């Protein structure tokens, strides 16, 4: 889809539809003067009250160049922030594309660059469908999305460009996440990362099984050994052109389990197909790198994606096996389904060897985080409140909900093993926290934030503003974090 900024008065904007926000608690704006009768009727009939995701369409509106006039509910004016605007645009796009609209204009009016950015992102995200392998799909995407403003300017143009880069990066992540495991093995994920890096001018290095064996990544390799598909540790690097002012080096680490059967501790059949999404963390860091390559933050950023398939079989690791991680710490594998932490620990250790000074990981790590926070918030854990503050600040700006979870010393004892330095599970209660503690054991004092995205990486149902399936959560937060460092 093409996205553009257009400077034109409301009534002159030519498109299949022009959309404008209407609030619950406010009269219609001046632009809609010629449509007052229609709006009065909409309100008095109760067909449109201005609530979020409400949309009403009028054909051949009097005095307008556009073929349709669309009002989109904004909710309460004082709650209408960039996140609400992103969703309002997404909902409008998703409704109108089903009605055959190809070119949609969104009335920004005198809105800010941040508003323009949110609008374009909302449109790109809302236009996305997960129908790649469904030739019979009825989805009819928009061809063109235009932000119509009362003024032009480099700041607005830049915002539209930024939004396109970020929105497309998030859809790149969703595309990767959406691939079934037969079409996205660790090797193929590495190929995709390489292709993306080459296209975007990033460095990419992939450590294969032999190299990981030489290095001593026994924890990652233990998970991989049950699968006929070889593992890969994908490393993508961005370096700023100018010598940075600080020594800071951001490391983004993403869980890349291309399919999680649970291994010998096998999962129940029901819902197992969803475990193709167990690489959403890895896909998010790769998507973020795609945008970072184009937006060029001031600090170096390195992404690491440990990619494996977690399978049972005669070569698979067994409960009770003890592996030696790259850090030297030994781990007793009590449950082979707690595999994410067993690959992330080696990647976290390696990221520090590569010089990363600040680490953020994203992982579909535990069912327990879904119990704790549902499908709404990402669970955020840290050993460093300053870094967490930056991550939560970025997330807030980007409208990605994250919630600070505890990581007290008291939880550490859950991971005690009589036979090894650590057990890989911590019992039934506080499962997301013991999983986070496990990772913490491998970052020492390096500032680190762990984002458990098991509840937020995909939608079980369509939302008005986004198709069901992978959400691409964390991409915008990661990009924002790097850009505002
Ligand atoms: N990939 C799963 C976590 C998950 C669950 C992601 C639900 C998305 C939705 C992870 O590898 C896993 O299986 N975790 C176990 C850990 C347990 C064995 C300690 C879990 O959460 O049940
Ligand atoms: Zn698992
Ligand atoms: Zn998993």
CA atoms within 13 A on the CB side of 118: 24
**Binding site membership of 279 for ligand 1 (Cβ less than 6 Å):** no
- How far apart are the C-alpha atoms of 187 and 166, rounded to whole Å? 26
Out of 261, 337, 422, 431, give the residue to mutate to test ligand 1, the one with the largest number of ligand atoms within 8 Å of its CB: 337
Q: pLDDT tens digits, residue range 70-85?
A: 999 999 999 999 999 9
Instruction: Concatenate the DSSP letters of all residues of 283-333 into one string.
Output: HHHHHHHHHHHHH--SS-EEEEEEEEEE--STTS--TT-EEE-TTS-EEE-
Q: Are strands 422-423 and 250-254 parallel, antiparallel or unpaired?
A: unpaired
Q: Are strands 448-452 and 378-382 parallel, antiparallel or unpaired?
A: antiparallel
**Binding site membership of 425 for ligand 1 (Cβ less than 6 Å):** yes
- Does 383 have pLDDT greater than 90? yes
Strand partners, 106: 19, 147
- How far apart are the C-alpha atoms of 467 and 461, rounded to whole Å? 8
Out of 365, 370, 451, 458, give the residue to mutate to test ligand 1, the one with the largest number of ligand atoms within 8 Å of its CB: 365
**Binding site membership of 431 for ligand 1 (Cβ less than 6 Å):** yes
**Binding site membership of 414 for ligand 1 (Cβ less than 6 Å):** no
Q: How far is the CA of 310 from the centre of ligand 1 (A)?
A: 12
**Binding site membership of 337 for ligand 1 (Cβ less than 6 Å):** yes
Which pairs with CB-CB distance under 8 Å and at least 24 residues apart come from 31-38? 31/107, 31/109, 32/69, 32/71, 34/61, 34/62, 34/63, 34/64, 35/61, 35/62, 35/69, 38/69
Q: pLDDT tens digits, residue range 178-221?
A: 999 999 999 999 999 999 999 999 999 999 999 999 999 999 99
CA distances from 1 to 4, 59, 87, 116, 142 (A): 10, 23, 18, 16, 6
Residue (of 223, 232, 233, 208) closest to 315 by Cα position: 223
Residues with catalytic function: 267, 341
Q: How far is the CA of 448 from the centre of ligand 1 (A)?
A: 21
Which atom of ligand 1 approaches the CA of 431 most closely?
Answer: 19
Q: How far is the CA of 81 from the centre of ligand 1 (A)?
A: 34
Atom 3 in ligand 1: residue holding the nearest Cα: 366
For position 440, what pLDDT does the model report? 98
**Binding site membership of 368 for ligand 1 (Cβ less than 6 Å):** yes
Kindly state the tokens that stand for 470.
């992978």
What phi and psi, each to the nearest 5 degrees, are found at residue 8? -160, 150
Q: pLDDT tens digits, residue range 129-162?
A: 999 999 888 889 999 999 999 999 999 999 999 9
Average pLDDT value over all residues in the chain: 97
**Binding site membership of 338 for ligand 1 (Cβ less than 6 Å):** yes
For position 138, what pLDDT does the model report? 85
- With tokens 């924890």, the residue in question is 219
Q: Taking the alpha carbons of 207, 212, 217, 222 in that order, is the dihedral positive or negative?
A: positive
Kindly state the tokens that stand for 165.
């880069």
Mean pLDDT of 426-454: 97
Instruction: Concatenate the DSSP letters of all residues of 416-485 into one string.
Output: --SSSSEES---STTHHHHHHHHHHTTTTTS-EEEEE-TTTSEESS-BTTB-SEE--TTHHHHHHHHHT-
CA distances from 378 to 58, 225, 435, 447 (A): 39, 30, 15, 19
Which atom of ligand 1 approaches the CA of 278 most closely?
Answer: 1
Q: pLDDT tens digits, residue range 334-372?
A: 999 999 999 999 999 999 999 999 999 999 999 999 999
**Binding site membership of 363 for ligand 1 (Cβ less than 6 Å):** no
- How far apart are the C-alpha atoms of 444 and 386, rounded to whole Å? 16
Are the beta carbons of 447 and 385 closer than 8 angstroms?
A: no
Which atom of ligand 1 approaches the CA of 310 most closely?
Answer: 11
Atom 17 in ligand 1: residue holding the nearest Cα: 338
CA dihedral of residues 342, 409, 420, 315 (deg, nearest 10): -20
- Does 25 have pLDDT greater than 90? no
Q: pLDDT tens digits, residue range 35-82?
A: 999 999 999 999 999 999 999 999 999 999 999 999 999 999 999 999
- Does 433 have pLDDT greater than 90? yes
Kindly state the tokens that stand for 100.
């055959």
- How far apart are the C-alpha atoms of 201 and 195, rounded to whole Å? 10
Q: How far is the CA of 219 from the centre of ligand 1 (A)?
A: 17
Atom 16 in ligand 1: residue holding the nearest Cα: 338
Instruction: Provide the residues around ligand 3 (an ion) whose CB is within 5 A.
Output: 257, 260, 278, 340
Q: Going by C-beta distance under 8 Å and a sequence separation of 6 or more, which residues neighbour residue 410?
A: none
Q: How far is the CA of 356 from the centre of ligand 2 (A)?
A: 27
**Binding site membership of 278 for ligand 1 (Cβ less than 6 Å):** yes
Kindly state the tokens that stand for 161.
């460009």
Q: Going by C-beta distance under 8 Å and a sequence separation of 6 or more, which residues neighbour residue 112?
A: none
Q: How far is the CA of 259 from the centre of ligand 2 (A)?
A: 9
Mean pLDDT of 378-406: 98
Which atom of ligand 1 approaches the CA of 426 most closely?
Answer: 19
Nearest-5° angle of CA 100, CA 101, CA 104? 165
Q: By percentage, how much of the chain surpasses pLDDT 90?
A: 98
Kindly state the tokens that stand for 193.
């990362």
Atom 22 in ligand 1: residue holding the nearest Cα: 367
Ligand nearest to the CA of 262: 2
Out of 264, 307, 364, 367, give the residue to mutate to test ligand 1, the one with the largest number of ligand atoms within 8 Å of its CB: 367
**Binding site membership of 454 for ligand 1 (Cβ less than 6 Å):** yes
Which atom of ligand 1 approaches the CA of 424 most closely?
Answer: 19
Q: pLDDT tens digits, residue range 245-290?
A: 999 999 999 999 999 999 999 999 999 999 999 999 999 999 999 9
- How far apart are the C-alpha atoms of 450 and 440, rounded to whole Å? 9
Residue 316's pLDDT band (cuts 50, 70, 90): very high
Q: How far is the CA of 446 from the centre of ligand 1 (A)?
A: 26
Count CB neighbours of 414 within 10 A.
18
Q: How far is the CA of 395 from the centre of ligand 3 (A)?
A: 24
Q: How far is the CA of 448 from the centre of ligand 2 (A)?
A: 22
Ligand nearest to the CA of 277: 1
């Amino acid at each position: 889809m093409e996205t553009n900024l257009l400077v034109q008065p409301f009534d002159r904007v030519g498109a299949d539809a022009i959309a404008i926000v209407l609030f619950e608690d406010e009269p219609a704006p001046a632009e809609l003067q010629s449509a007052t009768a229609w709006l009065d009727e909409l309100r008095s009939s109760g067909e449109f009250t201005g609530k979020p995701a409400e949309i009403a369409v009028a054909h051949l509106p009097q005095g307008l160049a556009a073929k349709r006039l669309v009002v989109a509910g904004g909710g309460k004016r004082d709650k209408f922030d960039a996140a609400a605007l992103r969703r309002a645009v997404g909902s409008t796009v998703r409704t109108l594309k089903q009605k055959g609209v190809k070119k949609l204009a969104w009335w920004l009016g005198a809105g800010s660059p941040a508003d323009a950015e949110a609008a374009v992102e909302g449109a790109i995200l809302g236009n996305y469908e997960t129908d790649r392998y469904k030739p019979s799909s009825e989805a009819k995407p928009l061809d063109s999305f235009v932000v119509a403003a009362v003024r032009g300017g480099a700041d607005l143009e830049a915002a539209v460009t930024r939004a396109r880069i970020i929105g497309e990066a998030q859809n790149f992540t969703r595309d990767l996440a959406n691939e079934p495991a037969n079409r996205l093995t660790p090797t193929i994920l590495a190929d995709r990362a390489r292709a993306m890096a080459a296209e975007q001018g990033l460095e990419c290095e992939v450590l294969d099984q032999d190299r990981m064996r030489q290095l001593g990544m026994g924890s990652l390799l233990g998970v991989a050994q049950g699968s006929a598909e070889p593992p890969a540790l994908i490393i993508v690097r961005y370096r700023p052109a100018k010598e940075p002012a600080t020594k800071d080096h951001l490391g983004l680490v993403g869980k890349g389990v291309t399919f999680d059967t649970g291994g010998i501790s096998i999962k129940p059949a029901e819902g197992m197909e969803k475990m193709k999404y167990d690489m959403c963390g890895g896909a998010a860091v790769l998507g973020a790198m795609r945008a970072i390559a184009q937006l060029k933050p001031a600090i170096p950023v390195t992404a690491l994606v440990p990619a494996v398939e977690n399978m049972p079989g005669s070569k698979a690791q067994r409960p009770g096996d003890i592996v030696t991680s790259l850090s030297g710490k030994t781990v007793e594998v009590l449950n082979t389904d707690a595999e994410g932490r067993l690959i992330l620990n080696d990647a976290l250790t390696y990221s520090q060897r590569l010089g990363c000074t600040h680490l953020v990981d994203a992982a579909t790590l535990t069912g327990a985080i879904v119990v704790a926070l549902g499908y709404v918030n990402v669970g955020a854990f840290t050993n460093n409140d300053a870094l967490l503050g930056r991550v939560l600040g970025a997330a807030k700006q980007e409208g990605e909900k994250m919630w600070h979870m505890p990581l007290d010393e008291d939880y550490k004892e859950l991971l005690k093993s009589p036979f090894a330095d650590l057990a890989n599970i911590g019992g039934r209660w506080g499962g997301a926290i013991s999983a986070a503690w496990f990772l913490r054991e491998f970052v020492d004092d390096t500032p680190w934030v762990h984002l458990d995205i098991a509840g937020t990486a995909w939608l079980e149902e369509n939302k008005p503003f986004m198709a069901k399936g992978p959400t691409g959560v964390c991409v915008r937060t990661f990009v924002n974090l790097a850009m505002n460092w």
